[in-house]
Structure 1
Amino acid sequence: MPQEVGGALHPSFRIRQQFRESLRINRGIGKAEADARAIELLEGAGIPEPQAALKRYPHEFSGGQLQRIAIALALAPRPDLLVLDEPTTALDVTTQRIVVEALRKLATEEHVAVLFISHDIALLGEYADELVVMYAGEIVEHGPVASVLSRPRHPYTRALVDAVPSPGRTELPASIPGLPPGRVVEGECAFAPRCSYAAPRCVEEKPALRTVGVDHSARCCRVSELTLDAATELGESVARAPGDVILTARDVVVEYNAGNRSRVRAVDKVSLTLRKGNLTAVVGESGSGKSSLGHVIAGLQRPSSGSIEFDGAELPEDPMRRSKLQRRRIQLVFQSTSGSLNPRRSVGDHLHHVAGCFLEPARRQAAVEEVLESVQLSSHLLNRYPNELSGGQKQRVAIASAFLADPAVVVCDEITSGQDVSVQAAILETLARMQATHDTAVLLISHDLGVVRAIADDVYVMRGGSVVEQGRTDDLFASPQHDYTRNLMAAAPQALDAAGAFPSVAP
């Protein structure tokens, strides 16, 4: 099952046709038997009204439902092994738990072995039996999930665990310096250039995979002499005192045409306040309206009603009528860098284009060099194109271009979604550093409660287009008042506790 359900489900065929085709080719089963098998699996996957679902097309289902249908379709021919490539990437915590619970139920009932490829260590800690950690094309650690996560024996595994954000911790997670080689490294340890435990022999010999416990092995020259404790140099808590109000949204409503002359209300009378030097997070399930709200503030979407006051003046209802200064001072970082980086422009061309739009000619070159240094990217990347950068590098270029305009407000729409934990930690460090330097108000739209806990000052919880709870981050996480907020927190993978351990897999 591929990462994108678009690679597993044909958009032009009804669900029934796709089950029938798979079962006819793989099992030689007729239509009636195929339909019965499809209904059985869809019901097991928690799809409402499975018989009616067979008549629908993929676009008529939510993202979480599509993932469950794709899993059911993969299981239909009764395979012995199911390979899942990042099946929960970009899903909100509630949908993620539903999908994984459905997967576990179906795999158990069908007696199928599952290979779950994922960068979500917290999720794997709850659901996997064995864990294989790979780096530079090689297995660096392998063993029972409780053993590997509770007592990692390879420095890379330890670093990954330290980089996991958790609702139970208030500090920024620790990132891993440098970049992976992207290839198999011969004659030396591939992780040595990034390893804080590296010794001279680590670059002189290729370590073998060594047994370190019952069914537990690790590829490290120093595995017998190292004790890999949790990181002690985590970032400090980012909680800040409330700054002056820079932006206030009042009773914002966003509606979309839904065909047949009907309209769907995505945002329903939402009010929100952003303060200088503070980071405000908006969390909620997919479809809760959080991105629509962010797009209204950034000027990509016209509100159906309501008002936005920015720096003491009300913004025009039509975003096209905002002044050049207002557009410069409110910036947006997209979830996907494909929405913010032109593939035909080098990094340097992109940053100079942004500087040319907003800065005086005399300031442009110095500003580009300064912002590139601020996001910790080398100047040699200026000549590279987006396809030559890693995911984390592209996201940091996008953050750099937003802050290059010297904004008062930056809207970040799911900027860590789909990134592995080490890259995610580096992005969060970059965002926190840039915000502190520029005293900027940041609106972070996210479904990752661990990320929000680590970096946000205030939190708004949205459901069905409305804010159901808001408050200071520490207070809200310590004592959520709304049932929906409590359900979101319960659905989040229970990752690291304050001591850096995985309580869900404690031996």
Structure 2
Amino acid sequence: MTAVTPFPADGRPLLEVRQLSQQYFLRRQKLFAPRPILKVLQDIDFAVRPGEAVGLVGESGSGKTTLTRMLTGVEKPHEGHVVFDGVDVWSGGEAHRRLFRRSVQVVLQNPRSSLDPRMRVGTSLLEPLRSLKIEGDHAARVLEVLDQVGLQKSALERFPHEFSGGQLQRIAIARALMPNPRVLIADEPVSALDVSIQAQVLNLLKDLVRDLGLGLVFIAHDLSVVAYTTSKVYVMSSGKIVEVGKPLDLFRNPSAEATQNLVGAVLSVESGLAGNALA
């Protein structure tokens, strides 16, 4: 394995990117002209530690999706490092990449997109264990995870269409937990849910961070949701991290223009009724 100089042992991140940049070559405009380059990420530093919930916010097109692809190993960066547990993912060897794929799992915005509608929930939950070739008592693991997300054993015999949106998101979280990950990346996990259900899913994620010591990367547009769920927020704009801090500090006293724009787009109940954006 190729080791990367670690942070101090008592504060080393589980997952981080260091000076990460990403670019794509576009189609030539003329036959012999050089291919234009689109720079999507520039000099990104980002980290999440055990038992820490970190928020990632930014307007559409800011680079959040591309950074997520870097954090999950879907894409290799043009420059910089993606580091899991102190070892570079792309130069650490196949054994470490297998560990990385097992240890970093994603919860998507729409739980229906991660569940086969023709497959019973019990079978869907077993899929990650089979695809990652994880051995052990699979039946016991399924029951353990169901308990962690607050679902009954009877859910295993039912199909996705038999559940509400909130229940489906719990199932999607359970599926992500099956390989016993160390980092959970939640990409807009409550934006498709009714407001009355959002708090239940957010509380579940907070409990998992606390009880399992997970690192949570929470990606969202709703700043109130981010402030409720996370203890640290990175603000992205035009492919760069423009501000980092505690959520309430950032949202009450934003200094970067991108943060100010995000805060200005949020309506509280009182100011919304008055027709004014959050100050």
Normalising by structure 1, we get a TM-score of 0.48
Q: Separation in 2 of the partners of 1:466 and 1:320?
A: 30
The verdict on how the C-alpha distance between 1:263 and 1:318 changes in structure 2, with shifts beyond 3 A counting, is farther
Deviation at 1:300, TM superposition (A): 1.6
Aligned to 1:412: 186
Q: Separation in 1 of the partners of 2:246 and 2:76?
A: 29
The verdict on how the C-alpha distance between 1:250 and 1:471 changes in structure 2, with shifts beyond 3 A counting, is same
Aligned to 2:265: 491
- Aligned partner of 2:152: which letter? S
Q: Tell me which of 436, 441, 444 is aligned to 2:215.
A: 441
Deviation at 1:262, TM superposition (A): 2.5
Q: Tell me which of 106, 109, 132 is aligned to 1:335.
A: 109
Deviation at 1:450, TM superposition (A): 0.9
8 Å CA contact retained: 2:109, 2:192: no
Q: Separation in 1 of the partners of 2:60 and 2:93?
A: 25
Q: How does 1:273-422 map to 2 (within 5 A)?
A: 273-316=47-90, 323-356=97-130, 357=132, 359-362=134-137, 364-422=138-196
Q: Tell me which of 244, 250, 253 is aligned to 2:18.
A: 250
Which structure's CA Rg is the greater one? 1
Q: Deviations over 1:236-291 (max 9, x none)?
A: xxxxxx96522221111222343223232222221111111011111001111111
Q: Separation in 1 of the partners of 2:192 and 2:74?
A: 23
Q: Separation in 2 of the partners of 1:393 and 1:275?
A: 28
The verdict on how the C-alpha distance between 1:262 and 1:336 changes in structure 2, with shifts beyond 3 A counting, is farther
Q: Tell me which of 12, 15, 27 is aligned to 1:259.
A: 27
Q: Tell me which of 423, 426, 431 is aligned to 2:200.
A: 426
8 Å CA contact retained: 1:406, 1:438: no
Q: Deviations over 1:315-335 (max 9, x none)?
A: 116998853222111111122
8 Å CA contact retained: 2:16, 2:71: no
8 Å CA contact retained: 1:291, 1:445: no
- Aligned partner of 1:245: which letter? P
Q: Separation in 1 of the partners of 2:271 and 2:99?
A: 49
Aligned to 2:253: 479
Deviation at 1:416, TM superposition (A): 1.3
Q: Which stretch of the first structure deviates more once superposed, 269-278 or 375-384?
A: 375-384
Identical pairs, percent: 36
8 Å CA contact retained: 2:56, 2:234: yes
The verdict on how the C-alpha distance between 1:433 and 1:425 changes in structure 2, with shifts beyond 3 A counting, is same
The answer to whether the aligner puts 1:457 opposite 2:231 as a matched pair is yes
Q: Separation in 1 of the partners of 2:151 and 2:218?
A: 22
The verdict on how the C-alpha distance between 1:322 and 1:248 changes in structure 2, with shifts beyond 3 A counting, is same
Q: 3-state SS of the aligned residue for 1:492?
A: coil
8 Å CA contact retained: 2:44, 2:240: yes
The verdict on how the C-alpha distance between 1:358 and 1:476 changes in structure 2, with shifts beyond 3 A counting, is farther
Q: Separation in 2 of the partners of 1:321 and 1:306?
A: 21
Asked which structure has the greater RCO (Cα within 8 Å, sep 6+), the reply is 2
- Aligned partner of 1:340: which letter? S
Q: Separation in 1 of the partners of 2:122 and 2:25?
A: 40
8 Å CA contact retained: 1:372, 1:378: yes
8 Å CA contact retained: 2:120, 2:156: yes
- Aligned partner of 2:15: which letter? L
Normalising by structure 2, we get a TM-score of 0.85
- Aligned partner of 2:125: which letter? L
Gaps of 5+ in 2: 1-9, 29-34, 275-279
Q: Deviations over 1:472-507 (max 9, x none)?
A: 223222322212211210111223xxxxxx45437x
The verdict on how the C-alpha distance between 1:397 and 1:465 changes in structure 2, with shifts beyond 3 A counting, is same
Aligned length: 258
Q: Separation in 1 of the partners of 2:246 and 2:75?
A: 28
Q: Separation in 1 of the partners of 2:39 and 2:197?
A: 35
CA RMSD of aligned residues (A): 2.2
Q: Separation in 1 of the partners of 2:79 and 2:154?
A: 47
Q: Separation in 1 of the partners of 2:111 and 2:95?
A: 26
The verdict on how the C-alpha distance between 1:289 and 1:487 changes in structure 2, with shifts beyond 3 A counting, is same
The answer to whether the aligner puts 1:270 opposite 2:38 as a matched pair is no
8 Å CA contact retained: 1:256, 1:264: yes
Q: Separation in 2 of the partners of 1:304 and 1:462?
A: 19
- Aligned partner of 1:316: which letter? W
Q: Which stretch of the first structure deviates more once superposed, 254-263 or 443-452?
A: 254-263
Gaps of 5+ in 1: 1-241, 496-501
